[in-house]
Structure 1
Amino acid sequence: MAHRSANGEGSIYRRKDGRYEAALYVDTTSGKRKRLRFYGTTRTEVSAKLTEARLQAQRGVPSPDKNWRVGEYLDHWLDQAVRTKRRPLTYRRSEAIVRLRLKPGLGTYALKGLSVHTIQMFLDRLHATGTTEASLYQIRKVLSAALTYAVRTELLFRNVARLVELPTYTPREAAYWSTKELERFLHAGEQDPLYSMFVMLVLYGLRSGEVRGIRWCDVDFERDELRIRQQVQRIDGALQQVPLKTASSRRDEPLLATAREVLLRQRTKQAVARATAGSSWQGSGDETELVFTTKSGRPIEARNVLRSFRRICAQHEIPLITLHGLRHSNATTQKDLDVPARDIQAILGHGDVKTTGIYEHVDMSRKRAALEKVEGQLFAEDVGDRGRSRQLSRQSHEPTAVNHPGIRTKENTHLCRVGTFFGGSSQTRTGDTRLFRTTEQILQGRITEVKERVKRAERQWMLGAVAVNLAVRVTPN
């Protein structure tokens, strides 16, 4: 009699086409019950799939109410998790990676069938066709975020993207300017229309979006304070004022005398531009007005700031760095002035002091100065009189009474009495290798020589005694 499966155990049977099929009722993420079906060429294969599904049901893990493909799920993730809960810039970057990379390569795969091997092969193909290591990390980052959301919403049991191995990636160190190069740039850009903005970038290490997002209500001339509260970004084709990314980015800075001066000049310049524009002025015209605007009162494009920055560098032959490199330069200047790392972190608006360490750089002159301090501490006598040491070293090779073994002088005798020494009496190098030995080593050699002589004398005495004894015995009476 055939065994009948109990309720909830599922069933396995053979289809007319020769394959095996299993069926099991489970609870879905929508709260409804659904009948899952599994197919395979052997009964063992189907039984394994059924057992896995049954175990998940017993653990209380609901089954997805839809058989997602990777492509359609990524669109769902962008709409439900990224667009509504992340910054517009984050959505734009994630959407581009999904559209250009993930959907063409993985879009047709079943979401539940996505494996480590499948993703590994996909990323390996991208790398083989010229995709950089940095881009691979960004692609995996976006895919991993999507699969994490799938695990959180109980569509998957694990995030397989985290198990994928990527080639070693070492980010290039950002280029930055020394203090002298910063001074050259500020001097060269004094006549540029964006000079006031460049002063703020150099002085406070602000981000491009932050300096373009400063409003007049953020500048407190009475208390000498500068508040960083928002930034300007291009979203959906238009420049918009948006909140800063993190709480640490929202910070208050002291309004320094130089910053106060350039901002007052900027306010006068903007008032003239507003009066000239008249009714065509597109700014708010009140204290919520942006500090840095175009001639028509609109926010300034990031690319226009970068264009002016590059033009100044090219015209005055200043080494070109990125605009963000000014932020690195500010952090490095503060470090060189012995500003504590925690204070630099607060000024730059970093959430972690480790991030601040990435922005701090050490140039060759600072390295040389630091290592020369070490050299001076450990080799003070050699560093202080290196020329005299070289001269004495050359003299030590000459056949003088000090280093010539055939000459016995008071100084040479003194050398033999020193407990431990290296080289000659003045601690310099010498050509006489015996002078590199300690007194104990020298005495040990002398004692060994005396012992050998005593042994030879004893043997000679014994041989003489034996010879006399034999002579007495053979002599006739």
Structure 2
Amino acid sequence: MSAPRDTLASRRVRANGDGTVYQRKDSRWEAAGYVLAPGNTRKRIRVYGTTRKEALAKLTEKIAASNRGLPIPSAQGSVAAYLTYWLENVAVHQLRENTYTRYTAVARLYLIPGLGRKKLARLTAKDVRTWLNQLRTTCQCCTRGLDTARDQPICCAAGNCCSKRLSPLPLAYVHSVLKSALEHAVREEEIPRNVARNVRTGTPRPRRFEPLTADEARNFLAATSGHRLQPLFELALHTGLRKGELLGLRWEDLDLADGTASIRRTLQRTNSSGLTALPTKTKSSERRIALPTPCLHSLTQHRDRQRKERETAGTEWKDSGYVFTSPDGAPIEGSTLTRHFNTLLRRAVLRRIRFHDLRHSAATLLLEQGVELVVIKELLGHAHIGVTATVYAHVRLRLQRDAIDTLSTALSSGGITVTASSNGDEPPPCASVVR
């Protein structure tokens, strides 16, 4: 005669809300109970274990999480299915088009191949960390099969791995895309927590840049003399405007009498609309700035030159309304502006830099002239002053060094005089002014 399946412990009366625990015919133990579900509802769940204690511990953990207000995950699909849903139904409506294109590429190249097969509800921080470590240590030619698609393999297929690994900056960007996707899953109560936030990838070092010095900036401005887009390059170096902000300037944004410019848009090329005007990068980027006197003079001459070009073009003139256009009035492509910029660098016999480094050069030169950081932040259109302080930290350290050296010189040369006091109880004497 077989032993009864129910023992005394299994028949013990449990409190209301603790669920039930019983042994199945396959000898496994099953525990069932009600927990919090999305939409502030309750759902009956079942957990299993090889022993009664194991099944009861799993159920107790679920009920404890429910009592803390964490709903049970409702996601049953894979990470790949959720990323596809998130990109097609959520991100496409919240992101700028170019940003959405980059997010889609990250999901296609890294997220789906690495984590796509895992269940969204079962994704753990350990899974994310393991995946990131693989991206950090494996060759992308080998992983993505890039070399096998070449006519003549030169990397993994040829037995000579190029070790093309992701650098810390793109790795952090891939991680941030995953965090954004999972954060939306948490808001929709698909999963209880964002496991990607529990993984630390380290803060990547900011990209080092070498802005133009004051002498190099003067040589560059001298090289732009007589160039058709001279006012644009002068404006870039004097105000630190972004490339898209310069190309998106319209005559209605300029007040040459008052000497101001209103930054309202940026001109960029997108996959769907081509060259189009978009809102500024952030809300803080929409700003009003003062124009220096040399730029006002150049812009006035540029407006007269553009009127002559319009008369010459006649019916072929494309009235785009932009300040900086091609000779027929059409907007200027960003790549075209880059080619003009590189030509001027060679004419000025300067090292190769990016057009964006003119923005860094303007901020650096302003800092070296003693302009307050908050003024530079408003001029550049940064959302937070911490961004300005972080990007130009090397300049601030150099200014601190100059200040310390100035003080050291004053101390060593007797620039500070101290008068001896007759009574030790008196406060210390004031120092003389250091000049």
TM range (shorter): 0.7 to 0.9
Are 1:90 and 2:125 an aligned pair?
Answer: no
Give the conservation status (yes or no) of the 8 Å contact 2:74–2:191.
Answer: no
Q: Distance in 1 between matches of 2:228 and 2:346?
A: 17
Are 1:247 and 2:247 an aligned pair?
Answer: no
Give the conservation status (yes or no) of the 8 Å contact 2:239–2:291.
Answer: no
1:226-278 per-position Cα deviation (integer Å, ceiling 9, x unaligned): 11111112222512211113332111112332222222233233334444444
Q: TM-score, normalised by structure 2?
A: 0.77
The counterpart of 2:210, out of the listed 161, 175, 196, is 175
Give the C-alpha shift of residue 64 in structure 1: 4.1
The counterpart of 2:409, out of the listed 376, 398, 404, is 376
Which of the pair has more CA radius of gyration?
1
- SS for the counterpart of 1:233 is strand
Give the conservation status (yes or no) of the 8 Å contact 1:212–1:291.
Answer: yes
Q: Distance in 2 between matches of 1:355 and 1:95?
A: 27
Q: Which is worse superposed, 50-59 or 213-222?
A: 50-59
The counterpart of 2:123, out of the listed 98, 114, 122, is 114
Give the C-alpha shift of residue 121 in structure 1: 0.8
Partner of 2:145: none
Greater relative contact order (Cα < 8 A, sep 6+)? 2
Partner amino acid, structure 1, of 2:212: W
Q: Which is worse superposed, 229-238 or 100-109?
A: 229-238
Give the conservation status (yes or no) of the 8 Å contact 1:335–1:360.
Answer: no
Are 1:190 and 2:229 an aligned pair?
Answer: no
Give the conservation status (yes or no) of the 8 Å contact 1:29–1:154.
Answer: yes
Partner of 2:364: 332
Give the C-alpha shift of residue 14 in structure 1: 4.8
The counterpart of 1:46, out of the listed 35, 38, 55, is 55
Are 1:233 and 2:268 an aligned pair?
Answer: yes
Give the conservation status (yes or no) of the 8 Å contact 1:185–1:312.
Answer: yes
1:4-40 per-position Cα deviation (integer Å, ceiling 9, x unaligned): 7787654445555555444445564357765544344
Partner amino acid, structure 1, of 2:99: T
Q: Distance in 2 between matches of 1:376 and 1:60?
A: 64
Q: TM-score, normalised by structure 1?
A: 0.70
Are 1:343 and 2:382 an aligned pair?
Answer: no
Are 1:142 and 2:177 an aligned pair?
Answer: yes
The counterpart of 1:224, out of the listed 259, 277, 290, is 259
1:65-90 per-position Cα deviation (integer Å, ceiling 9, x unaligned): 44132122222333344222232233
- SS for the counterpart of 1:304 is helix
Give the C-alpha shift of residue 141 in structure 1: 1.4
Q: Distance in 2 between matches of 1:15 and 1:210?
A: 69
Give the C-alpha shift of residue 361 in structure 1: 4.8
Q: Which is worse superposed, 305-314 or 28-37?
A: 28-37
Q: Distance in 1 between matches of 2:385 and 2:396?
A: 21
Give the C-alpha shift of residue 323 in structure 1: 1.4
Partner amino acid, structure 1, of 2:340: S
Q: Distance in 1 between matches of 2:327 and 2:52?
A: 76
Partner amino acid, structure 2, of 1:254: A
Q: Which is worse superposed, 76-85 or 25-34?
A: 25-34
Q: How many residues were matched structurally?
A: 377
* Structure 1 unaligned residues grouped into runs of 5+: 382-477
Partner amino acid, structure 2, of 1:109: K
Q: Over the residues paired in the alignment, what is the CA RMSD in angstroms?
A: 3.0
Partner amino acid, structure 2, of 1:76: Y
1:414-446 per-position Cα deviation (integer Å, ceiling 9, x unaligned): xxxxxxxxxxxxxxxxxxxxxxxxxxxxxxxxx
Q: What does 1:435-450 correspond to in 2, within 5 Å?
A: none
The counterpart of 1:309, out of the listed 307, 321, 341, is 341
Q: Distance in 1 between matches of 2:17 and 2:235?
A: 69
Q: What does 1:212-291 correspond to in 2, within 5 Å?
A: 212-237=247-272, 238-284=274-320, 289-291=321-323
Q: Distance in 1 between matches of 2:223 and 2:257?
A: 31
* Structure 2 unaligned residues grouped into runs of 5+: 1-7, 139-164, 415-435
Q: Distance in 2 between matches of 1:272 and 1:311?
A: 25
Q: Which has the larger share of helix?
A: 1
The 1:18/1:262 distance shift into structure 2, 3 A limit, reads: farther
Give the conservation status (yes or no) of the 8 Å contact 2:367–2:396.
Answer: no
Give the conservation status (yes or no) of the 8 Å contact 1:30–1:65.
Answer: no
Partner amino acid, structure 1, of 2:371: V
